[in-house]
Amino acid sequence: MTTQTTATEHPEHGEGGQYTTPGKEFTRDTTYITTRITTDGADGYPVEAGRYRLVAARACPWANRTIIVRRLLGLEDAISLGTPGPTHDADSWTFDLDPGDTDPVLGIAKLKEAYLKRFPDYSRGITVPAVVDERTGAVVTNDYAQITLDFSSQWREHHRDGAPELYPEHLREEIDEVNARVYSEVNNGVYRCGFAGSQLAYEQAYDRLWSALDWLEERLTHQRFLIGETITEADVRLFTTLVRFDAVYHGHFKCNRNKLAEMPALWGYARDLFQTPGFGDTIDFAQIKEHYYVVHTDINPTQIVPVGPDLSGWVSPHGREELGGRPFGDGSPPAPPREGEQVDPAHTPLR
């Protein structure tokens, strides 16, 4: 089943964020193509290794989640990965990083082609992440929140040996509760600040964001991970915002009460995850900065990309081991990124 509505899309990420108008709060349109890929194939798309391609730009925090979960669970053999470039226009994400500016598996130059293949009259923004059926070249889903949950629950047959339990049954209620607040106040909160349409809307968004970050600082002062003793879906969702905070959100989105590096627990937590296989090795800081500062011409009309900040702190000792916990529980870290899926060494402090 699919759900579509028509909305005025902000072109920034193709993430379903509506334009703000003067005096208005930024509102993200959260209606997506809700078709699911499941073991029983109830929506017409059964789990099948080698059939689907995850299209996920490294620049986008919502897409970055899916890249991380795919790595942690070891789904590289089951689901291929296509990575659009960091910039795009209002029309579509494009495959300008690939030879001939064309995705080598799907044979398309613009992700929009996969959307129109299934929905010829598709009128919404072209968003990442998206899962595309390689057989037909048509998009299956762009419901980013459900995609990662289904990677954990529906693709278990294809998980690597030692894959972590990112969404364990006994913790789901707490994970869902934390995820809801993190999404509303942090993941989306930074955008609410950046795209506020008035001073009042900005200040209200700013207060909400920092209230939530202070709550997280307190929570993570006493425990290594957000939920329980191991990494879960909740940590993935928070991490992709934190890793962009000082490089982009602090200045570009005016989230500038202080830097992440000035919050001891959150900074240690973010570095702990960054240095964990499957997290930091998916982060391309150059692409992240180019995306935000070049695409958001309404916020940054000069399109000048800042040289800083210094990234060396991301690989400094974090000391979070003292809080205990086991990142992968009874499992093990994933293998290094595969050939063709590594981040350019010049774009990361990891060596």
Residues 6+ apart with CB under 8 A from 164: 72, 73, 230, 231, 327, 328, 329, 331
What residue type is 242 in one-letter code? L
Known active-site residue 60? yes
Of 115, 191, 202, 269, the active-site residue reads 191
What residue type is 110 in one-letter code? K
Strand-pair category, 138-141 with 130-133 = antiparallel
CA-based torsion, 83, 88, 92, 95: positive or negative: negative
Of 32, 52, 60, 122, the active-site residue reads 60
CA 213 → CA 21, 210, 267, 308, distances in Å? Answer: 27, 5, 11, 23
Which of 306, 303, 241 has its CA nearest to residue 273? 241
Which of 238, 259, 255 has its CA nearest to residue 292? 255
Known active-site residue 191? yes
Active site amino acids:
60, 191
